[in-house]
Amino acid sequence: MQLRKWLSIMLAVVGMAGMLTGCGAESASQSTSQGGKTKEKVLNIYGWTDYFAPSVLDDFEKKYGVKIVYDAYSNNQELLVKMQAGPTKYDLIQPTDYMVSKMSKLGMLAELDKANIPNLSNLQSNFRAPFFDPENQYSVVYTTGITGIAYNKKFVKTKPESWQDLWNPQYKERVILVIDERDVLGMALKKNGFSNSTKDEQQLSIAYADLKTLMPGVMSLDSDMIRQKFIANDAWIGTVWSGDALYIQKSNPDVEFVIPKEGAAIWADTMAIPKGAKNKQLAEQFINYLLEPEVSARNYEAIGYGDPNEKAMALHSEAYRSNPILNMSKEQLERTEWFTDMDEAQPLYNRYWEMLKSWRD
């Protein structure tokens, strides 16, 4: 849907400044037409698949009199390509931690007006100064998770302990991988004892060669339908984001989640606003709404991901608060590693990823 043009509206607003002073400031959720009538505004979101509770989106639309258009992408590379292609309609995006760093360096993100996001104080303190955006200048942490191994214990009789278990020939054509460059290459790097953010071409070459031997046994590279494939028992084992693992488990209790002994990636997805977004204030209003404790608890209970909202914790169910997937032990967390921006090494990652995908095709 195309966004409405604002030039004539702003001229009208300037001319009516005195009237607005007496009547109160115009809400971010409304625009004034030349005829004095209000027109519905549209908040265009470009985010991960199934990343908001539908009821939460519906309630925001009703409360603020707006319409939400929600488009989804499968990985950060897809997001970056879309944003680099030129001006887009989107008001809110959800880049992962390292992508926030990259996009801010490229001048692609708008600075947040924190006066419009007072509920930012509800976040846990460690999320109010993340390493990739220490002052929350461009982003707000939406959720965190870990990329580990999900497996169906009906078919995978021995609990996986290593990434090497994905290469087990017994699971040929029942292995599934998220379609994400950093997750897939990072998994193979960790398997071989390297950092998931190495810039060493020899180490990347080793990881790539290892992945080539896995590809014949992989049923698909998929992030959008990975939940359904595990729920339907089509996929038996694979790389899965922790929140998706919890979602799968609700419908298929035979699916378990583990962090391999070699370690795994820990990450944070965020909410950010593209530079030049036409509804920046409305996007900030939406972020603030999501940080309301009651809304936050309802949203994360539905999507199955970790809630960074400290004031929402008391509103969560006991099952949510005690779930081991959402509450990793100190020992497990010590085996995780954050992704970092690749800077000059990014073309190297891109090349190996494209070769891997083309080799599979």
CB 96 within 8 A of CB 76: yes
In this structure, the number of other CB atoms found within 10 A of the CB of residue 188 comes to 24
Report CA 54 to chain centroid distance, whole Å: 16
- Write down how long the chain is: 361
Instruction: Scan for tokens 């070699």, then name that residue.
Output: 262
Q: Is 70 annotated as a binding residue?
A: no
Q: Is 238 helix (H, G, I), strand (E, B) or coil?
A: strand
Given the structure tokens 């419009």, which residue do they identify?
116
Residue 160: phi and psi, rounded to 5, are: -65, 140
Is the separation of the CB atoms in 79 and 181 below 8 Å?
A: no
| CA distance linking residue 321 with residue 308, whole number of Å | 12
| Structure-token pair, residue 303 | 């999507």
Which amino acid type is present at position 30?
Q
Cβ neighbours for 92, distance < 8 A, ≥ 6 positions apart: 43, 44, 45, 46, 47, 271, 272, 273, 277, 283, 286, 287
The binding site consists of 98
The binding site for spermidine consists of 98
